[in-house]
Structure formats: C-alpha cells, structure tokens
Amino acid sequence: MFTIRKFTTDDTEQVRSLIASVMANEFPEQAKSYPLTDLDDIVKTYCNIGEAFFVGCFGDEIIGTVAVKKEDERSALIRRIFVKPEFRNRRYGLRLLEEAINFCSVVGYQEIIFKTTSNMEKAIQLCLKKGFVEKARVDIGGIELLKFALFLKQNSPLA
C-alpha cells in the first residue's frame, strides 16, 4: 500500500539515490542547474518551521518525494517532486503534490511557487492539473526555465 509520510534521517540514502538517478538518467543537462547539495542535509534544508520533506513509500521502499521550502512569509516553494519511473502514471506524484499543497494551506501560505525547466514535462503537467498557472518563462543558454504559481487564499492581492 502506498503511504506518504515526513522524511526521517534514515531515509537520506534512498532519497538521494532516487533523485540522483532520475536527474542523471532523464535530465542530465538540467543536473547542472539543480545540484544535489540541498540533499546533503535534508533536515537542515527542508525541516524548519513552515517547511517539510515528504516521501511516498511502499513498505520500506521510497518511490517518490516532494519538498516544501519557505520562500517568504506568504510564499512557499515546491521542490524535489520525483517519482521512480516504474511507479509513474499511478497518481503517486499527484498524491505527493496534494500532500505538499495541504501542508502549505495549513501553514498559512498564500502562494505556492514551482520552478522547473521545460524538459520536466511530467512535473509541469502535474502542477497544471492542480491549478498552478505559468507566471514566467526565460531562456538561459538553451534551457528554458519556467515559474508557476498557485494561489491558496482568494483574498490574496495577487490572486
């Protein structure tokens, strides 16, 4: 059975291995833009007040990840949304993203931001499915960077 829970330090190697493998095998050109240094100390990077790192599991096997990083008092960033290739197209990524959105809502963020490259099509489709809207598109050295936003509070002046 698929479950989602918060990251523990025992998860470090599986998380790092999953993300490094997907980046190396599917997005080698983007690996330079998204170094893995944030995974050296996940607790320090993603487990502060208003932040979280979630893992999706089958038993003891981690098959997906999503992180919430505080941008400022009103905004959070969605980061490190990955699902092992053999577990894709089963709605696990969607469930991970929903967990992150629910967390952001409970914390009280007004806006969630997701930044990616145009090559990460599955992540883009997932965010669009959950109501994110494209806010920016910039070409940097042949790699197109995209920024999406989801507004959580209807009374937000930016909504």
Q: Which CATH superfamily is domain 2-110 in?
A: Gcn5-related N-acetyltransferase (GNAT) (3.40.630.30)
Cα gap 105→20, rounded to integer Å: 29
pLDDT band at 154 (very low <50, low <70, confident <90, very high): low
Among the residue ranges 31-45, 50-64, 75-89, the one predicted with the least confidence is: 31-45
Long-range pairs of 11-15 with CB within 8 A, sequence gap ≥ 24: 11/42, 11/55, 11/62, 12/39, 12/42, 14/55, 14/61, 14/62, 15/39, 15/42, 15/53, 15/55, 15/62, 15/65
Does the pLDDT at position 93 exceed 50?
yes
Does the pLDDT at position 140 exceed 90?
no
Cα gap 132→14, rounded to integer Å: 29
pLDDT at position 148, please? 96
pLDDT at position 131, please? 95
User: For residue 135, what are its two tokens?
Assistant: 């806010």
Global confidence as pTM: 0.91
Does the pLDDT at position 157 exceed 60?
no
pLDDT at position 56, please? 98
